[in-house]
């Protein structure tokens, strides 16, 4: 069976990931469980290397053999795009594919809190979508960019690693750039993006201090900036950003965040009641005057109480989001109790 055949089967079975590695059979991850292709042969070390290199272009091969790991994307024509991570482990080579839907999801189809759609009409703000690796952050951002594209005339510039959803211009102009393919680094891209007359900037992932500095600068200069971050908890996100900076910059960063940070959304994926799909639970932090004051005064530990207290101001706690999914019968009682218990330990 060829790689493309394995990918087609994965799409038919609605797999979230496809794993190809040496000394085992190809496998799929469906609803968090691993299923092997029992009718296929175990992949040898040499075969694993050949498979990995066979789906890369020459520049990708050079970078992969130098760095021993690589993120990139491929397209299975007429079927889907896939985000791919290639890496070396122990005695063989490995690939993990993640399907990317060719159709960009409409915001309403994701069952996200309606307040999140309000992000798309703002200016000169930073909006952070946070969560674990598999929490639909990219999907949420894609739906928001698509919402702008459908309803507003804007110049949107993105930097991605790799490009996942592919947009077509409607009312807006969308320019997508991929790290290493169209620009060398996030920092390099963002410096020049500010000179390219953007209205909306999308940063696939905030990775270092310089990216944060430039993103805040972009938000201060009348750009709406969307970005993702691997954090859990809206309040922890703010604390983590501040903690990344050296002590002599912390006061300045607190001031900038208090003025430019508009929203923080923390997302988790939960199994649906029928265990056939997933649904998003979201915590939403709005940078109200009281929250901004907490950030300025280094009192971020009080933010969780602010989210709980100011729910009527569009803020949503993760607990209330999980409860809402349960009362709508989107998750079952077992999932409800399990996730609330995790949340108690987390807090």
pLDDT tens across the length of the chain (347 residues): 689 999 999 999 999 999 999 999 999 999 888 999 999 999 998 999 999 999 999 999 999 999 999 999 999 988 999 999 999 998 789 999 999 877 898 999 988 999 999 889 988 899 999 999 879 999 999 999 999 999 999 999 999 988 889 999 999 999 999 988 888 888 888 889 989 999 999 998 888 888 899 899 999 988 999 999 999 899 899 999 999 999 999 999 999 999 999 899 999 999 887 766 789 999 999 999 999 999 999 999 999 999 988 776 789 999 999 999 999 988 989 889 988 998 877 66
Q: What is the pLDDT of residue 255?
A: 96
| Structure-block tokens of residue 118 | 């309000």
Distance CA 302, CA 318 (A): 16
152: burial class by Cβ within 10 Å (0-12, 13-18, 19+)? Answer: middle
What pLDDT score was predicted for residue 346?
Answer: 66
Q: How far are the Cα atoms of 186, 198, 203, 249 from residue 222, in angstroms, in the given order?
A: 20, 9, 16, 23
CB half-sphere exposure, 263, CA atoms < 13 A = 27
Enumerate the β-bridge partners of residue 57: none
Q: Give the pairing type, strands 69-76 and 80-89.
A: antiparallel
The pair of structure tokens assigned to 60 is 């990708």
Question: Cα–Cα–Cα angle for 239, 241, 247, nearest 5°?
Answer: 85
- What gap in Å lies between CA 130 and CA 228, rounded to an integer? 6
CA neighbor of 40 nearest in space, from 16, 21, 12, 17: 21
Q: Which fold has domain 107-346?
A: Rossmann fold (3.40.50)
Query: What fold characterizes domain 3-100?
Result: Beta-Lactamase (3.30.450)
pLDDT of residue 151: 96
Query: What pLDDT is attached to residue 312?
Result: 64
| Residues in Cβ contact with 136 at an 8 Å cutoff, skipping those fewer than 6 apart | 110, 267, 269, 278, 280
Among all chains, which residue has been given the structure tokens 């930073």? 126
Domain boundaries, the chain: 3-100, 107-346
Q: CB of 8 within 8 A of CB of 79?
A: yes
Q: Residue 115: helix, strand or coil by DSSP?
A: helix
């Amino acid at each position: 069976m060829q790689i493309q055949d394995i990918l087609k089967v994965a799409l038919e079975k609605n797999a979230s990931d496809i794993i190809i590695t040496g000394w085992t059979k190809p496998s799929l991850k469906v609803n968090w469980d691993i299923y092997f292709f029992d009718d296929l042969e175990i992949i040898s070390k040499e075969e694993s290397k050949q498979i990995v290199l066979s789906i890369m272009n020459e520049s990708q091969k050079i970078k992969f053999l130098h760095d021993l790991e690589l993120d990139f994307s491929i397209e299975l024509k007429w079927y889907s795009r896939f985000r791919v991570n290639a890496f070396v482990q122990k005695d063989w080579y490995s690939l993990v594919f993640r399907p990317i839907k060719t159709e960009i999801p409409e915001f309403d189809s994701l069952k996200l809190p309606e307040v999140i759609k309000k992000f798309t009409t703002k200016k000169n703000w930073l909006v952070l979508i946070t969560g674990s690796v598999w929490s639909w952050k990219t999907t949420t951002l894609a739906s928001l960019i698509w919402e702008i594209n459908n309803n507003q005339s804007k110049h949107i510039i993105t930097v991605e690693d790799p490009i996942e959803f592919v947009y077509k211009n409607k009312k807006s102009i969308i320019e997508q750039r991929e790290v290493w393919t169209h620009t060398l680094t996030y920092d390099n891209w963002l410096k020049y993006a500010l000179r390219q007359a953007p209205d909306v900037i999308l940063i696939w992932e905030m990775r270092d201090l310089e990216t944060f500095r430039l993103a805040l600068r972009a938000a201060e200069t009348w750009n709406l900036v969307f970005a993702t971050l691997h954090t859990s908890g809206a309040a922890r996100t703010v604390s983590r950003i501040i903690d990344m900076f050296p002590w002599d910059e912390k006061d300045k960063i607190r001031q900038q965040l208090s003025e430019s940070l508009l929203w923080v959304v923390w997302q988790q994926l939960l199994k649906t009641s029928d265990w056939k799909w997933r649904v998003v639970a979201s915590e939403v932090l709005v940078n109200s005057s009281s929250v901004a004051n907490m950030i300025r005064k280094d009192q971020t530990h009080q933010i969780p109480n602010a989210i709980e207290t100011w729910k009527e101001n569009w803020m949503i706690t993760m607990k209330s989001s999980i409860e809402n999914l349960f009362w709508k019968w989107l998750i079952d009682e077992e999932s409800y109790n399990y996730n609330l218990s995790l949340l108690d330990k987390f807090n």
